[in-house]
């Protein structure tokens, strides 16, 4: 049975829209832990559009499960991770203009740089995972640089235009997961997973952890709406 990591970035997205103090992603993380989640995931982006360094520092202190920090493999982020020591770092490609992480890392083209970053972090006792597309050549490259784990990008599966395409993308995920496991890699998966498409991915043999953000935060907003409005109405009508 795969573990679940909940990404709380978009709680911070709502907070940053007003540069306010709430909603607080730390509280969201704590509630997720109380609900039974296995790890908390945050992406500290270069443009700091949602999660801030302070959030990651506080999370490091208060969460009781596992902190998985998604970040670009830049010098400043590596320095930050080495000083903060999250349980896990997931290295992702990052482009300023993108709405979200749009593709996996190109491990083949960046193997020297990624290898030295992976080494530095792993020597510091941090588990490192590379976010990559379900592509055998990328997995071989990841295995060569001796990274501990990979996270398979499920975006193409999630965004498939029809059931046939979804089935093809699912088979790619199954084949690459099984290949990666044979290489001795820990295999995680994530991106675009939601209440409609998660079961098929959770059923892939050997997947250790699914990391899910947007769909959970989206549902939390809507399931919490009724209670939030009733509480405000009570004050207004008092
Ligand atoms: N895994 C990685 C590496 C990501 O970059 C993201 C998005 O931050 C996720 C998982 C979660 O994706 P989503 O928000 O679509 O569930």
Half-sphere exposure of 201 (CA within 13 A, CB side): 32
Q: Which atom of ligand 1 is nearest to the CA of 191?
A: 12
Q: pLDDT, tens digit, for every residue of 146-167?
A: 999 999 999 999 999 999 999 9
**pLDDT score recorded for residue 74:** 96
Rounded Cα distance between 125 and 184, Å, is: 18
Rounded Cα distance between 189 and 131, Å, is: 8
**pLDDT score recorded for residue 102:** 72
Q: How far is CA 133 from the centre of its chain?
A: 14
Rounded Cα distance between 234 and 231, Å, is: 5
Instruction: Show the domains of the chain with their CATH numbers.
Output: 3-236 (3.20.20.70)
- Does residue 19 contact residue 11 with C-beta atoms inside 8 Å? no
**pLDDT score recorded for residue 96:** 64
Å from CA of 102 to ligand 1 middle: 10
Q: CA triplet 112, 146, 158: central angle to 5 degrees?
A: 90
How many residues does the structure list for the chain?
238
Neighbours of 151 (CB within 10 A): 30
Whether 98 shows a pLDDT value over 80: the answer reads no
**pLDDT score recorded for residue 97:** 66
From the list 10, 50, 153, 191, the catalytic residue is 191
Whether 172 shows a pLDDT value over 80: the answer reads yes
**CB-based pocket (< 6 A), ligand 1:** 7, 9, 43, 70, 90, 92, 100-101, 131, 151, 190-193, 211-215
Identify which of 78, 87, 118 has the alpha carbon closest to the alpha carbon of residue 3: 87
- Residues 6+ positions from 188 with CB-CB distance below 8 Å: 5, 90, 129, 149, 150, 151, 152, 207, 208, 209, 210, 211
Per-residue pLDDT band at 58 (split at 50, 70, 90): very high
Specify whether 191 is catalytic: yes
């Amino acid at each position: 049975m795969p573990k679940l990591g909940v990404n709380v970035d978009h709680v911070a997205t709502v907070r940053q829209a007003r540069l306010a103090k709430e909603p607080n992603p730390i509280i969201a993380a704590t509630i997720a832990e109380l609900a039974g989640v296995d790890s908390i995931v945050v992406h500290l982006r270069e443009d700091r559009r949602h999660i801030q360094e302070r959030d990651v520092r506080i999370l490091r202190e208060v969460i009781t499960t596992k902190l998985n920090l998604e970040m670009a493999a830049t010098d400043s982020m590596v320095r930050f991770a080495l000083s903060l020591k999250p349980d896990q770092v997931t290295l992702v490609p990052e482009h300023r203009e993108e709405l979200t992480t749009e593709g996996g890392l190109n491990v083949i083209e960046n193997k020297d740089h990624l290898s030295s970053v992976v080494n530095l972090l792993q020597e510091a006792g941090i588990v490192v995972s590379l976010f990559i597309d379900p592509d055998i050549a990328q997995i071989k490259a990841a295995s060569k640089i001796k990274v501990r784990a990979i996270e398979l990008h499920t975006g193409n599966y999630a965004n498939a235009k029809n059931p046939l395409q979804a089935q093809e993308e699912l088979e790619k995920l199954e084949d690459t997961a099984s290949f990666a496991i044979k290489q001795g890699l820990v295999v995680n998966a994530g991106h675009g997973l939601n209440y409609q498409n998660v079961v098929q991915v959770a059923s892939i043999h050997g997947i250790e952890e699914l990391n899910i953000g947007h769909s959970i935060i989206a549902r939390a907003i809507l399931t919490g709406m009724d209670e939030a409005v009733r509480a405000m109405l009570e004050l207004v009508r008092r």
